Amino acid sequence: MSEFLDMGGYARYVWTAYGITLVVIVLNAWLARRRHAQALIKVKQMDRSELIERTPTVRRNP
Amino acid sequence: MGLVRWFHSLASPPHFYRFARRLSPWLAVSSVVLIVAGVFGGLVLAPPDYLQGDGFRIIYVHVPSAYVGMLAYVVLAGAAAIGFVWRIKLAHAVAVSVAPVGASFTFLALVTGAIWGKPMWGTYWEWADARLVFELLLLFLFLGYMVLRAAIEDRDKADRVSAILAAVGVINVPIIHYSVEWWSTLHQGPTIARLDSPAITLDMLVPLLIVIVGFTVYFAWLVICRLQGEVLERERTARWVQQLLAERAE
Amino acid sequence: MDVFLLILRRDLKIAFRRWGELATPLIFFVIVASLFPLALSPEEAQLRASGTGFLWIAALLSSLLALDGLFRNDLQDGSMEQLALSPAPLALIVLAKTLAHWLVSGVPLLVLAPFLALSFYLPVEALPTLVGALALATPTLSVLAALGAALTVSVRGGGAIIGLLVLPLTAPVLIFGARATDLAVHGESTLGPLYLLAALAVLALSLGPLACAAALRVGLE
Amino acid sequence: MSVDPSAGLIVSSLEVWRGERRLFGDLSFELRSGQLALITGPNGAGKTSLLRILAGLSEPRAGAVTWRGTTVRQLAAEFRAAIAYQGHLDGLKNDLTVAENLAFYRALWDGDDALEPLLDELQLSDFAHREVRYLSAGQRRRVGLGCMRLRRASLWLLDEPLTNLDAEGAEVVAGWLLSHTDAGGAAVLATNQAERFDGAAAIEIAL
């Protein structure tokens, strides 16, 4: 096991690289899920007046 | 015919949203399985490289992240171009969602490349390595795209302006790639080993391919997650979003 | 073609009436170049070794510096609306404006560059190649910078991000331009990189104005 | 869609957005030659946005605008030339003189009208060789409208053309509009001074 962890003397480099990769992967997942959750909140709190549909009046003069 | 219609229906936001909700757990689980299996193969099963020893095992995270970074830029530019030409809002939403993911994987490729470089070259950064320089320029392209989008307040405008930037960028990517390659061959000393083994054996290659597939599936999951949020925000006045909210409230 | 000349003449006339703005990038180019030996060292060998690359970076930056207002001024006073609604293709108008800009900023740069190169101890034999490479490279740089200006035309107050958008795209021009100059300094054949620079210029001049025009139409909305 | 020289400006089920907000939807009308249309409405209702869509500067999210049977965004050069748009901005170059600005637009529109009568009518003769930067807002407006006049257009799209104009200036522009429609031209006007055109407008659109 300790031989495996030692990585033939390259432990410092190999494990740092894998560690950073893990951080980036986890961070990405968290950010992506947060993006979805925040959109739901934003839509819930949106200005309801945006839903009103207005139509202009057109008057034709003879 | 049925397949074409199915693809077409995906471009409609409510269909896409429902489809994505069903798909995303599958993507998440399979990407984790693939990545864990591939990394296990790479760290434990694959033999050490005859030149680089166990140091070469960084390849199992460096190459997949570099690959996903490139793939992301192509997807970004392709989606943006489709959105620009055919005015498909969902395509623009794809481009927006891909950008931060692609940037983070490109960044990861740079960092793992530099860490790998230290034992191989004795320095973290080697300007003569064309691929690291190219990754750096690619990261700048992602950042430029994101900064431009952030600077334009109107989402519709931001979509189309940034699509033009992405299209110009993707035309430039091969030119940048070959010019950097050409430039590095002029400056490369004979002592510089390239960041891949010249003779990679099959038991080294298989785990690598598995991790690449795993990273790609993971990338798809991330994009779909972000895309759901993006679609909701863009479609907030649409009836289906309001219905969805009402259902969730119950 | 009439429209092309019309726009070219108008922009040149305006440029000469605002000569202060015209001179800024050139003075910037000269000042930065004069600061370089102060930062590095006045030694001949060192200056000669890094002078080429330095001249190229300075040329790159000064050609980006000037383009912020290229379309923004027209957008703000409303003339861009009229140009976009004119019967002439917008890409042709963009090309005329870019050419006008190159004539007043790129050409003086070609004239100044040999003098700066001499002060960095570059051999006289290398100067024709330097000017030739700059003559082929600056149109590409102008088109790229124009593209940056067109993309950011609707960004409030933000000419600063042009550099971030455009600089990564200029890498090939920089590589080939500096390489051609370097080869000339060492007395070798410079045709290869010069051809590549010419190819890039053709590509930029043919596709760039179309992309600019598309970006401007979006910016006008 | 085919080219139909007799068709005027046809707006069908148009939806107008400003950025992320839908301003209004379902606007349809048809403007024939010789007719004047007025767009009225409170600030922010979308008068300018509508006019810019009619001019082909912006693309509508939904609905269509056609001129002579072709979508305005896809007009061929000769039809494009027949539409004049004058927005809030005058489109003048500060560093050029009044005469230079007018001459530039005359050349751009491929026109050949003499400038002197126009300058006289707009009471700008004394300023012909002054740079535009030294003009007042009202004078600039006159020059801008003069540039528009040099375009031999059959459809005029004017956004608040009377803003900044004094009584005489407004009189001149109103006169232009009437003679334009009398001569078979069409015009769409966004204005808060609709009462000036009472009875003259064939179509009134209240946003």
Q: Where are the domains of chain D?
A: 96-152
Instruction: Quote the mean pLDDT of chain B.
Output: 88
Instruction: State which residue of chain C sits closest to D153, comparing Cα positions.
Output: C86
Query: Stretch B5-31: mean pLDDT, rounded?
Result: 87
Classify the C-alpha dihedral B8-B14-B17-B21 as positive or negative.
negative
Our CA-based measurement puts residue C6 at a distance from the nearest CA of chain B, in whole angstroms, of 28
Look up residue D134 and give its two tokens. 């030294």
Contact B155 D20 (CB under 8 A): yes
Residue B165 has pLDDT above 90, yes or no: yes
**CB–CB of D18/A49 below 8 Å?**
no
Which positions in chain D touch B153 (Cβ < 8 Å)?
19
> Minimal Cα distance from D22: which residue of A?
A50
Question: Which residues from D are below 8 Å from A58, CB to CB?
Answer: 27-29, 203-205
Range of the domain at A42: 21-47
Interface B–C counts its CB contacts (< 8 A) at 72
- Cβ separation of D108 and C17 shorter than 8 Å? no
On the question of pLDDT at C36 being above 60, the answer is: yes
Q: Flag whether A2 is in a domain.
A: no
Q: What integer pLDDT is reported at residue B1 of this predicted model?
A: 57
If you average pLDDT over residues B181-188, what whole number do you get? 75
D/A touch flag: 3 or more CB pairs below 8 Å: yes
pLDDT value, residue D50: 92
**What is the distance between the alpha carbons of residues B90 and D150, in angstroms, rounded to a whole number?**
44
CA distances from C220 to B157, C79, D156 (A): 10, 11, 19
pLDDT tens, per residue, chain D with 207 residues: 456 666 789 999 899 888 778 888 889 999 988 889 999 988 888 899 999 999 999 888 889 999 888 888 888 777 888 899 998 899 999 999 999 999 999 999 888 888 888 898 888 888 889 999 999 998 999 999 999 988 888 899 999 988 888 888 888 888 898 889 888 889 999 988 878 877 778 888 888
Strand, helix or coil for residue A58: strand
Residue B88 has pLDDT above 80, yes or no: yes
Give yes or no for a contact between C22 and C104, defined as CB atoms under 8 angstroms apart. yes
**pLDDT-based confidence at B192, cuts 50/70/90?**
very low
Instruction: Say whether residue B25 is in contact with chain A using an 8 A CB cutoff.
Output: no
The answer to whether the CB atoms of D19 and B154 lie below 8 A apart is yes
Query: D52 and C13 in contact by Cβ < 8 A?
Result: no
Identify the pLDDT of residue B131.
84
- Structure confidence at residue C212 as a pLDDT band (50, 70, 90): very high
3-state secondary structure of D74: helix
pLDDT at B199 (0 to 100): 62
- The SS3 of residue D142 is helix
State the Cα–Cα distance between residues B124 and B58, nearest whole angstrom.
Answer: 14
Q: Which amino acid is at D90?
A: D
Question: For B209-232, what is each residue's pLDDT tens digit?
Answer: 999 999 999 999 999 999 999 999
Q: How confident is the model at residue B194 (pLDDT cuts 50, 70, 90)?
A: low
pLDDT band at B61 (very low <50, low <70, confident <90, very high): very high
Q: Of D122, D75, D84, which Cα lies nearest the Cα of D105?
A: D84
Domain that holds residue C116: 2-220
pLDDT band, very low/low/confident/very high, at B73 (cuts 50, 70, 90):
very high
Decide if C220 and D57 are in contact by the 8 Å CB cutoff: yes
Using CB atoms within 10 Å of the CB of residue C27, give its burial: 0 to 12 exposed, 13 to 18 middle, 19+ buried.
exposed
* Residues of chain B contacting A14 with CB distance shorter than 8 Å: 54-55, 57-58
pLDDT of the residue at C199: 95
Determine whether the interchain pair B154/D17 forms a contact, defined as Cβ–Cβ distance below 8 Å: no
Cα distance between the two ends of chain A = 94
pLDDT at B28: 95
Distance CA D135, CA A52 (A): 44
Nearest CA to CA, how far is B156 from chain C (Å)? 9
Q: How many CB atoms lie within 10 A of CB C49?
A: 15
Q: Is A60 helix (H, G, I), strand (E, B) or coil?
A: strand
A 10 A CB-CB count for B87 gives: 13
Which of C14, C78, C85 is the closest to D96 by Cβ? C14
The answer to whether residue A26 is domain-embedded is yes
Calculate ∠ Cα C165-B218-B7, nearest 5°: 85
Burial per residue of C151-171, b for 16 or more beta-carbon CB atoms within 10 angstroms, e otherwise: bbbbbeeebebbbbbbbbbbb
How many domains is chain A partitioned into structurally? 1
Q: What is the 3-state secondary structure (H, E, C) of C173-192?
A: HHHHHHHHHHHHHCCCCCHH
Least Cα separation, residue C170 to chain B (angstroms): 9
Q: Is B53 exposed, middle or buried (0-12, 13-18, 19+ CB in 10 A)?
A: middle
Structural domains of chain C, count: 1
pLDDT digits (tens, 9 = 90+) for B22-48: 999 999 999 999 999 999 999 988 888
Given this model, what pLDDT does residue B190 score?
44
Least confident interval from C158-162, C204-208, D7-11: C158-162
B interface with D, Cβ–Cβ below 8 Å:
153-157, 237
How much of chain C, in percent, has pLDDT values that exceed 90? Answer: 51
Q: What is the pTM of this model?
A: 0.91
